[in-house]
């Protein structure tokens, strides 16, 4: 394998309601993080997996994942970007493709991990899986009054895993300023072209209670 996968899993999951850190919430009786790591480990290109866990849960996460796959676990940071940087810092020499994948996208198929990695291997410096935007999208002012309608055909909803040539991601994190919600955003700021490839509906991010209910259904029907 020539791929390292970084898994930021240190978020609190406030939007999911009160409870454990999001990556440790249960889906079909197992934490979201276990589902995510199992599917990452099933992708043949994956050489190394590094998980950024909530600081108080590092030992617990190590024990939790030991039977699932060989992983390195580090404490995450206050922002997603800091969690990714902490994981990136411990990737061993070797893998020249680095993917960043949210633990919350627990049902992401191994095939998506492979297709993103393959696009980087084929020559793109930065690759993101995307879906078309199905809803009409409006820009709205602070007073909740519509300012305008955005051209939906030019929009994409962005998922993870996002894939990068290792040196490109390392340089983007070294230059990073204010925290962004994804890694491709950092790379864009460096002027590096970011390629879109088809995403997967199964890579939905479990964020709100509705998503958890949908994920439970998908898991129960074999995904
Ligand atoms: O909050 P959001 O849904 O954007 O989180 C996306 C992913 O980033 C989740 O897997 C979450 O655990 C992770 N995260 C993190 N460190 C933080 C905040 C979020 O690893 N400080």
Q: What confidence tens digit (pLDDT) does each residue in 46-99 have?
A: 999 999 999 999 999 999 999 999 999 999 999 999 999 999 999 999 999 999
Element (H, E) at 58: helix 58-65
pTM given for the model: 0.97
Strand pairing partners for 149?
138
How close is the Cα of 78 to the center of ligand 1, in Å? Answer: 9
Top-level class of domain 3-130+158-220: alpha beta
Instruction: Enumerate the domain spans of the chain.
Output: 3-130+158-220
Write down the pLDDT at residue 68.
98
Beta strand 138-140 pairing with 146-149: antiparallel
User: Could you give the CA distance from residue 38 to residue 35 in angstroms, rounded to a whole number?
Assistant: 5
Element (H, E) at 81: helix 80-88
80: Cβ below 6 Å to ligand 1? yes
How close is the Cα of 1 to the center of ligand 1, in Å? Answer: 26
């Amino acid at each position: 394998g020539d791929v390292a996968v970084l898994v930021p899993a240190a978020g609190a999951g406030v939007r999911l309601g009160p409870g454990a850190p999001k990556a440790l919430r249960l889906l079909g009786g197992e934490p979201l993080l276990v589902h995510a790591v199992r599917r990452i480990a099933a992708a043949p290109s994956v050489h190394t997996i590094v998980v950024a866990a909530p600081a108080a849960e590092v030992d617990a996460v190590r024990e939790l994942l030991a039977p699932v796959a060989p992983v390195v676990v580090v404490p995450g940071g206050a922002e997603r970007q800091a969690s990714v940087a902490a994981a990136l810092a411990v990737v061993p020499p070797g893998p020249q493709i680095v993917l960043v994948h949210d633990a919350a996208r627990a049902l992401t198929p191994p095939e998506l991990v492979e297709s993103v990695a393959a696009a980087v291997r084929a020559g793109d410096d930065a690759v993101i899986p995307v879906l078309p935007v199905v809803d009409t999208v409006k820009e709205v002012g602070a007073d909740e009054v519509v300012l305008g309608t955005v051209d939906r055909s030019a929009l994409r909803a962005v998922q993870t895993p996002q894939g990068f040539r290792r040196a490109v991601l390392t340089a983007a994190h070294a230059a990073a300023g204010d925290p962004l919600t994804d890694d491709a955003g950092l790379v864009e700021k460096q002027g590096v072209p970011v390629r879109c490839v088809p995403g997967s509906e199964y890579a939905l991010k479990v964020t709100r209670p509705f998503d958890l209910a949908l994920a439970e259904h998908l898991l129960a029907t074999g995904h």
